[in-house]
């Protein structure tokens, strides 16, 4: 069994004089009283791969005894001062549940002890007027030893301020202001592990290779974007495995952004190396797509049912929709989990890692970004314009719907190409990307309406076959059809705005 919580904390250099050197925090914001506890003796053994893959991605895995939360702790980085901490009960070996959550980082490599950190901790608890704990100040005397024979030893002191669950992060700023007045400043190391690896010599393997790329070049901008998206894909893995809200959608979008970047900037990165990666990203996106499409469709139909007046909801509509969601949802979620468990997925992560560390740069990668990146964006615009023209020339019906779906995908590629180029080309490409996004959104709503019609027809047939009224399903079908037609009527105006030559003028010179 595992438990998960958000941990928000900051680390500081210790005050001179130890606990006696801490300021009185009574009256700091909502703090009404301060109580002292301890000392506690904590003993933690940190595990990582031989080449410290967890440490390189700011992840820690430890087995700790002592204190109120003895057990295995996996800490995953989130935004700012916050991390996701997953706890599992004490055992001799790394729990399988934590191995799985770390798999996108370890890629199945063996986990072994790298550092042992023992701390003597004294705690001050900040409480509000009701006695509720708002935060803890922990003053630690730390002793670290490298696990490998012949490794070094290090000792230091540090101060840690951690918020209690549900407390607004603004309290950290209030406390920090008081600490600064006492000359207490932030610690250089983000964690005990990072400092222990550095000072015991156990972290020699933690240095990440950096690709040789010209600063400010087209290659530098493209690689920065690729690196950001690869990191996001890896970090989303535990959230998808934990079935957290929106995680599948975010991972799927990340796959699309990477595919789009590798396609649009073939003049920068050699397609002989990137095309196989794009194909695998398409596979993963497809596996994730089933779950996301199911989720979106269920939410759309459910919201439409809720908006109907009660007198228009005939028969067990809500019950039938729940049965449909359960029967389809379990299948697609299983498909997602199975995809993440395959060697094929791990090979894709390895390939993306190699792409970032050893990018297959072409000659234009070293050039200035203005011409190379603008040309890539304009090329994607040309593809979108061609698809829009073909789709709008089709008679109303399936052919036009299919053409508009293809145009939607082209709008998305233009949007992502502009996103890559925005740091280099600034406002002109940002404006074009914004208009492309408007086209994509409208066509996305159109496509959702088209897909919903097919599902509503299936639900109507099933209801009729079971002797239920199919009236409500038919009514919803008509509303979706009307909505799709309305989106088509809106499209010419949205497209005129996106195809305004003035948007492209600054990129063409």
Mean residue pLDDT across the chain? 92
Least-confidence region, from 16-25, 98-107, 343-352, 440-449: 16-25
* CA distance linking residue 259 with residue 278, whole number of Å: 5
Determine the Cα–Cα distance for residues 243 and 239; give it in Å rounded to an integer. Answer: 6
Q: What is the 3-state secondary structure (H, E, C) of 97-166?
A: HHHHHCHHHHCCCCCEEEEEEEEEEEEEEEECCCCCEEEEEEEEEEEEEECCCCCCEEEEEEEEEEECCC
pTM: 0.88
pLDDT value of position 330: 63
Q: What is the pLDDT of residue 68?
A: 87
336 — pLDDT class (breaks 50, 70, 90): confident
Assess contact for 217 and 367: CB atoms under 8 A: yes
State how far the Cα of 262 lies from the Cα of 273, in Å rounded to an integer.
10
Interval 256-283 mean pLDDT: 97
Residue keyed to tokens 């089709």? 394
pLDDT value at residue 440? 97
pLDDT at position 332, please? 67
What would the pLDDT profile of 67-77 be if each residue is shown by its tens digit? 888 999 999 99
Least confident piece of the model among 294-308, 327-341, 449-463:
327-341
The confidence score (pLDDT) of residue 206 equals: 54
Q: Which range is least confidently modeled, 210-214, 247-251, 475-479, 484-488?
A: 210-214
So where are the chain's domains?
2-206, 216-367, 369-501
Distance CA 457, CA 452 (A): 9
How many Å apart are CA 369 and CA 219, to the nearest integer?
8
Token pair, residue 231, equals 């990191």
pLDDT given at position 331: 64
3-state SS string over 171-193? HHHHHHHHHHHCCCCECCCCCHH
CB 241 within 8 A of CB 337: yes
* 207 pLDDT more than 60: no
Q: Grade residue 209 by pLDDT with cuts at 50, 70 and 90.
A: low
Distance CA 147, CA 46 (A): 9
Residue range 216-367, CATH number? 1.20.120
Query: Residues 11-34: what's their mean pLDDT?
Result: 86
Q: What value, to the nearest 5°, has the Cα angle with vertex 382 and ends 378 and 388?
A: 140
CB atoms within 10 A of CB 286: 13
Q: Please give the DSSP secondary-structure letter assigned to residue 269.
A: B
Give the C-alpha separation, 146 to 408, whole Å. 54
Residue located via tokens 């719907």: 401
**Which is more confident, 290 or 98?**
98
How many Å apart are CA 362 and CA 383, to the nearest integer? 23
Closest C-alpha to 23, from 158, 229, 178, 132: 178
CA distances from 500 to 83, 217, 359, 416 (A): 45, 29, 36, 19
Reduced to 3 states, what is the DSSP secondary structure of residue 360?
coil
Q: pLDDT band at residue 188, thresholds of 50, 70 and 90?
A: confident
- Report helix, strand or coil for 271: helix
Q: Give mean pLDDT, residues 11-19.
A: 81
Contact 241, 100 (CB under 8 A): yes
**Which pair of structure tokens corresponds to residue 33?**
């009283």
Band (308; pLDDT cuts 50, 70, 90)? very high
Residues 23 and 181 sit within 8 Å (Cβ to Cβ): yes
Q: Tell me the CATH class for 2-206.
A: mainly beta
Assess contact for 74 and 85: CB atoms under 8 A. yes
How buried is residue 143: exposed, middle or buried, by Cβ count under 10 Å (0-12/13-18/19+)? Answer: middle
């Amino acid at each position: 069994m595992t438990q998960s919580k958000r941990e928000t904390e900051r680390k500081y250099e210790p005050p001179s004089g130890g606990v006696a050197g801490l300021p009185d925090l009574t009256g700091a914001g909502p703090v009404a009283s301060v109580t002292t506890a301890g000392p506690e003796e904590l003993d933690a053994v940190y595990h990582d791969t031989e080449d410290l893959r967890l440490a390189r991605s700011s992840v820690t895995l430890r087995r700790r005894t002592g204190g109120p939360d003895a057990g295995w702790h996996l800490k995953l980085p989130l935004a700012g001062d916050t991390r996701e901490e997953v706890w599992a009960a004490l055992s001799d070996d790394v729990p399988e549940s934590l191995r799985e959550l770390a798999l996108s980082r370890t890629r199945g490599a063996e986990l072994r002890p790298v550092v042992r950190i023992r701390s003597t901790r004294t705690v001050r608890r900040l409480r509000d007027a009701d006695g509720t704990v708002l935060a803890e100040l922990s003053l630690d005397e730390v002793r670290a030893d490298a696990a490998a024979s012949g490794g070094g030893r290090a000792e230091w002191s540090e101060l840690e301020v951690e918020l209690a669950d549900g407390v607004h992060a603004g309290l950290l700023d209030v406390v920090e202001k008081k600490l600064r007045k006492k000359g207490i400043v932030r610690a250089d190391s983000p964690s005990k592990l990072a400092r222990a690896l550095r000072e015991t010599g156990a972290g020699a393997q933690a240095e990440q290779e950096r690709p040789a790329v010209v600063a400010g070049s087209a290659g530098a901008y493209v690689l920065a974007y690729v690196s950001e998206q690869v990191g996001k894909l890896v970090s989303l893995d535990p959230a998808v495995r934990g079935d957290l809200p929106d995680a599948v959608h975010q991972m799927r979008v990340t796959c699309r952004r990477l595919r789009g970047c590798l396609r649009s900037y073939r003049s920068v990165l050699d397609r002989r190396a990137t095309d196989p990666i794009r194909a695998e990203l398409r596979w993963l996106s497809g596996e994730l797509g089933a779950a996301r499409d199911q989720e979106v469709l269920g939410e759309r139909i459910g919201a439409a049912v809720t908006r109907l007046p009660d007198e228009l909801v005939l028969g067990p509509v809500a019950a039938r929709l729940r049965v449909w969601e359960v029967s389809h949802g379990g299948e697609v979620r299983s498909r997602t989990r199975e995809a993440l468990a395959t060697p094929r997925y791990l090979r894709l992560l390895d390939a993306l890692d190699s792409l970032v560390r050893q990018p297959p740069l072409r000659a234009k990668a070293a050039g200035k970004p203005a011409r190379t990146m603008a040309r890539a964006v304009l090329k994607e615009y040309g593809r979108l314009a061609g698809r829009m023209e073909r789709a709008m020339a089709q008679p109303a019906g399936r052919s036009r719907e299919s053409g508009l779906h293809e145009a939607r995908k082209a709008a998305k590629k233009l949007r992502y190409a502009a996103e890559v180029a925005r740091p280099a080309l600034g406002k002109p490409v940002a404006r074009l990307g914004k208009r492309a996004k408007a086209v994509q959104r409208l066509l996305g709503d159109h496509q959702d309406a088209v897909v919903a019609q097919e599902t509503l027809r299936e639900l109507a047939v099933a209801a009729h076959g079971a002797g239920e009224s199919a009236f409500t399903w038919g009514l919803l079908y008509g509303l979706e059809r009307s909505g799709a037609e309305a989106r088509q009527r809106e499209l010419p105006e949205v497209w005129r705005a996106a195809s305004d030559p003035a948007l492209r003028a600054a990129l063409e010179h």
